[in-house]
């Protein structure tokens, strides 16, 4: 029986710093029958053994000296269930091909974001986001040179929190977490509005760390140069916070100055304009999305975002990973 979810994860994270201990780390964290959802092309794996065989050990085989570093870690509850969330990077020397991506031979970074629902004996339900396009861009192998906005933003290594306090090893004041949660929830309800009613929730010099295929932006105006065109490429938007039968957050909670959320899918809309170089289909597509936000006082100052872009592109008839295979 798990009595301390925070300690369970911190032990797991500590073990992932040492490549020789991956099997021990995984079997000690996941329940044997856990359902583990991963971005395309892996999509869903069942059990810790499959997670090792199809994801983590092949990744270790491709990224020599593989280890993992966390930039954010937090714990909370959503709809009566306990969740753990973290984001950071896998790091290693890219010496062997992975998922059809040609090895660059260079030191490489694979950004990850994870959510784990904790049961009696470990993680029972997980959602794992990987920014595969960001890795492909670094290796000059991403086939698209356009983003959803007026231009693709910065692509490259993304920083952790500017406050350097993202790994929450101790319990935080619950009032702070509730405030963080409410600010984000209110902001989400004002996305995709004609008057851009999301603006007052953000610091004017905020940082938006987007998925590699979209890029990152500094400041509300630069962010708007992405967000407004992106919203216009779809009609009938629905976000996970609305829980209206089309999309739903599997979790959303706050701890300290941080909030996180994820949906599988989290966004949906009818594609009515070109998106990432693809002609509109006039069909509804669904996007797997997750976020972490940091606030200072009453304003959001940093936002880390993942979108399963290859999965979205597949729905538009384009496969950016046509040659993928497990090593």
Q: Are 184 and 123 in contact (CB under 8 A)?
A: no
Q: Is 161 among the domain residues?
A: no
Statement to judge: residues 28 and 94 lie in one domain? yes
SS3 content of the chain, % helix, strand, coil (to 5): 25, 40, 35
Statement to judge: residues 75 and 179 lie in one domain? no
**Res. 22: pLDDT tops 90:** no
Statement to judge: residues 180 and 126 lie in one domain? no
Buried b (16+ CB within 10 A) or exposed e, 66-100: bebebbbbbbbebeeebbbbbbbbbebbbbeebbb
pLDDT at position 73 is: 98
Q: Which of 76, 73, 5, 6 lies closest to 254, judged by CA?
A: 76
Domain range enclosing 192 = 174-315
Q: Is 211 among the domain residues?
A: yes
Question: Which of 80, 110, 138 is at the close of a domain?
Answer: 138
Q: How far is CA 276 from CA 33, 149, 170, 249, 269, in A?
A: 37, 9, 41, 25, 15
**Res. 327: pLDDT tops 70:** no
pLDDT digits (tens, 9 = 90+) for 217-276: 999 999 999 888 998 999 988 887 777 778 899 999 999 999 999 999 999 999 999 999
Statement to judge: residues 15 and 60 lie in one domain? yes
Statement to judge: residues 191 and 128 lie in one domain? no
pLDDT at position 1 is: 64
Q: Are 293 and 180 in contact (CB under 8 A)?
A: yes
Q: Which of 289, 83, 276, 74 lies closest to 191, judged by CA?
A: 289
pLDDT at position 2 is: 67
pLDDT at position 156 is: 93
Q: Is 125 among the domain residues?
A: yes
Statement to judge: residues 94 and 200 lie in one domain? no
pLDDT confidence tier of residue 324, bands split at 50, 70 and 90: confident
265: cis peptide before it, omega within 30°?
Answer: yes
Q: Is 33 among the domain residues?
A: yes
Rounded Cα gap, residues 305 and 193, in angstroms: 20
Burial class (CB in 10 A: 0-12, 13-18, 19+), 4: exposed
Q: Are 250 and 37 in contact (CB under 8 A)?
A: no
Statement to judge: residues 131 and 179 lie in one domain? no
- Please count the structural domains in the chain: 2
Give the number of other CB atoms < 10 A from CB of residue 6.
15
Q: Is 159 among the domain residues?
A: no
Q: Is 307 among the domain residues?
A: yes
Q: Is 296 among the domain residues?
A: yes
Statement to judge: residues 183 and 306 lie in one domain? yes
* Residues ≥6 apart with Cβ < 8 Å to 303: 206, 207, 208, 209, 291, 292, 293, 294
Mean pLDDT calculated for residue range 35-62: 96
CATH assignment of the domain containing 34:
3.10.450.50
Mean pLDDT calculated for residue range 126-154: 94
Q: Which of 313, 316, 318 lies closest to 283, judged by CA?
A: 316
Residue 99 — left, alpha, or beta (φ > 0 → left; ψ -120 to 50 → alpha)?
left
Choose the weakest-confidence range: 39-43, 69-73, 154-158, 193-197. 193-197
pTM listed for this prediction: 0.96
pLDDT at position 150 is: 80
Q: Is 237 among the domain residues?
A: yes
């Amino acid at each position: 029986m798990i009595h301390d979810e925070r300690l369970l994860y911190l032990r797991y994270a500590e073990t992932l710093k040492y490549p020789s201990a991956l099997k021990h780390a995984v079997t000690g964290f996941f329940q044997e029958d856990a359902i583990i959802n991963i971005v395309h092309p892996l999509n869903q794996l069942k059990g810790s053994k499959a997670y090792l065989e199809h994801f983590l050990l092949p990744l270790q085989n491709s990224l020599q000296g593989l280890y993992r570093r966390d930039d954010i870690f937090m714990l909370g509850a959503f709809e009566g269930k306990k969740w753990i969330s973290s984001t950071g990077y896998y790091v290693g020397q890219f010496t062997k091909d992975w998922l059809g991506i040609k090895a660059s031979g260079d030191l490489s970074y694979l950004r990850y974001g994870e959510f784990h629902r904790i049961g009696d004996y470990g993680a029972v339900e997980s959602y794992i986001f990987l920014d595969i396009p960001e890795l492909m861009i670094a290796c000059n192998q991403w086939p698209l040179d356009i983003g959803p906005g007026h231009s693709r933003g910065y692509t490259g290594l993304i920083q952790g929190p500017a406050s350097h306090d993202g790994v929450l090893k101790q319990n935080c004041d619950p009032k702070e977490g509730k405030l963080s949660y409410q600010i984000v929830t209110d902001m989400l309800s004002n996305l995709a509005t004609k008057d851009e009613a999301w603006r007052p929730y953000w610091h004017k010099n905020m940082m938006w760390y987007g998925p590699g295929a979209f890029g990152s932006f500094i400041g509300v105006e630069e962010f708007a140069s992405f967000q407004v065109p992106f919203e216009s490429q779809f009609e009938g938007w629905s976000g996970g916070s609305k829980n209206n039968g089309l999309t739903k957050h599997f979790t959303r909670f706050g701890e300290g100055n941080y909030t996180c959320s994820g949906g599988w899918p989290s966004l949906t809309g009818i594609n009515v304009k070109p998106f990432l170089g693809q002609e509109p289909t006039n069909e509804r597509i669904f996007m797997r999305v997750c976020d972490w936000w940091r606030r200072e006082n009453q304003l959001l100052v940093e936002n880390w975002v993942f979108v399963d872009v290859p999965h979205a592109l597949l729905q538009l008839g384009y496969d950016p990973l046509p040659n993928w295979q497990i090593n």
